[in-house]
Amino acid sequence: MSGGGRCLRAAAAAAARACRTPAAFRTSQRSLRTSPPSPAFAKELFLGTINKKEVFPFPEVSQEELNEINQFVGPVEKFFSEEVDSQKIDQEAKISEETFEKLKRLGLFGMQVPEEYGGLGLSNTMYARLGEIIGLDASIAVTLAAHQAIGLKGIIIMGSEEQKTKYLPRLAAGEHIAAFCLTEPSSGSDAASIRTRAMLSEDKKHYILNGSKIWITNGGLADIFTVFAKTQVVDSNNLVKDKITAFIVERNFGGITNGKPEDKLGIRGSNTCEVHFENTKVPIENVLGEVGGGFKVAMNILNSGRFSMGTTVAGLLKKLIEMTAEHACTRRQFNKHLSEFGLIQEKFTLMAQKIYVMESMAYLTAGMLDQPGLPDCSIEAAIVKVFSSEAAWQCVSEAMQILGGLGYIRNYPYERLLRDTRILLIFEGTNEILRMYIALTGLQYAGRILTSRINELKRGNVSTMVGIIGQRLRDTMTRTVDLGLTGKLGVVHPSLEDSANKLEENVYYFGRTVETLLLRFGKTIIEEQMVMKRVANILINLYGMTAVLSRASRSIRIGLRNHDHEVLLANIFCMEAYTQNLFTLSQLDKYSPDNLDEQIKKVAQQVLEKRAYICAHPLDRTY
């Protein structure tokens, strides 16, 4: 038997073992926490508090689950390192049938599909671990994510028992491929503006689906589509309104065509195309969730999968560091290795720090998602996506600088990585939209809790105003903030005490600033995008600081190798994030000289009015 055949057989055996024992996954998944679910962690930061029990200690998995996943990881790593030709996939702009078959045999099309429907039933933590490996090829990673993180995810979280039994087994086996159809020519981030329509037939047995979707990953390969369309719904006042409904649509229902694959900048091996529906008859039993409840279905699907980008990107960047470090340690200039120059060392520190933060946030979020009760971690997942995507773009760019001209040549993988990572800032919600989501969701949560207090201030309640003035006087007198992270009963290791104190200070003053913003803007804050961007940036830093402090404290206490390296990375990040937060908090002050929002808006208005750069050319003259 050939080496490839032996590898495949071993992989199949590992997959079979995983299939026989998914109960172990689910048991350990439930054992991550035993207490009832608490309010989501990130939302509490808007109140200036740290919900320690949600994030300390750092989530653990059982040894049994770890042993099982390690058996599965080996064959998958071997397959991606020895048999996946990413350069060929990129050049040919497709994933070969042979590669697809091996992915199916490894069980990678059903990682999170429950065991009773033929999948592996992996926890979010174990799904994240496999994501580190799958991320080594961006086209394969995107194809698998479109299939299960969004394509079939709606059936898992919102489907009826009949729908799950009918569709999930073949999807888990890879016999059917799934796609998620939301985006249209007239609607991108604004999902509510879709025009695809589903009309109930006269016999009320079918919906007749008409419309077009664009940029659909797996659109030309899929057998099963999760499609979102406008439907007529009668509300409680007996008025007919258009609302979005989600449908499970089979290609063999008829009336479905797709365009040719798009010729993309990156992730070229993934199939992306338009999908058209013309009088497609969809049985009423294929409504996913409730009629008119499609927007909720879409948001639940998208919010549940974003966290995994952290480990997918981390796996890619770890490989990038290895390749780039090899070059830096062997390439000589000015009688020195590149690795001896301070500006090159700075780039490697930045890459290592970014990986550590995104990996810490991703596994912390996965651990919270694995708690009983399906906690709402949508803000945390969005934070992971924003941070990881931007860090990926920055790290690949820095690696290109280290490599010089070598990084720009197509015979090497670096320029492909640059092209592949650019999409990360756009899909699964643009980072601009996600920043608005992070800020607005948290501000709404804080607003509901602080409503009575804010209303009293607006009415001029004397006792409340005196309390606020006293609080602010104490703040200006360099108040010592203690939120319980350090000290005798603290949860952060003493070697990280200074960083923990910085986090506590940032969180406290963030809470005070949130209250001020709500009082200042009220409901109109939704129109203040530059304000909300700053709020989101602070929260991203706060969650990153929390994640690295929790993880590094655990590593020290259980004696993990190189835990001193983790302490360095955690302290560097916390110091930088703390400083950034202080500046951003100052910009949120109404009268801050650091706030240039009005000037920025004025420049933009003048440019957009003329749709051009309007400054006179430096060689122009009036005399």
**Active-site amino acid positions:** 428
Which token pair is 523?
């409901």
Pairing of strands 178-181, 224-234: parallel
Given a contact cutoff of 8 angstroms between Cβ atoms, the answer to whether 110 and 155 are in contact is: no
Which token pair is 243?
């609302």
CA gap 621, 623 in Å, rounded: 6
Nearest-5° Cα angle at 308, 303 to 313? 130
Given a contact cutoff of 8 angstroms between Cβ atoms, the answer to whether 566 and 356 are in contact is: yes
Given a contact cutoff of 8 angstroms between Cβ atoms, the answer to whether 187 and 194 are in contact is: yes
The answer, yes or no, to whether the previous bond of 57 is cis (omega within 30 of 0) is yes
CA gap 439, 46 in Å, rounded: 9
| Chain centroid offset of residue 568 CA | 26
Given a contact cutoff of 8 angstroms between Cβ atoms, the answer to whether 359 and 395 are in contact is: no
CA gap 503, 484 in Å, rounded: 11
Closest CA to 567 of 580, 557, 578, 553: 553
| Chain centroid offset of residue 267 CA | 18
Amino acid at 181: C
CA gap 3, 10 in Å, rounded: 11
Which token pair is 193?
């503006």
Helix (H, G, I), strand (E, B) or coil at 596: coil
Which token pair is 494?
């003493």
Closest CA to 183 of 253, 249, 272: 272
CA gap 107, 119 in Å, rounded: 7
| Chain centroid offset of residue 368 CA | 14
Closest CA to 540 of 387, 436, 402, 392: 387
Helix (H, G, I), strand (E, B) or coil at 220: coil
CA gap 478, 397 in Å, rounded: 40
CA gap 329, 52 in Å, rounded: 42
- DSSP class of residue 109 equals T
Question: To the nearest 10°, the Cα dihedral for 356, 48, 516, 544?
Answer: 0
CA gap 308, 150 in Å, rounded: 12
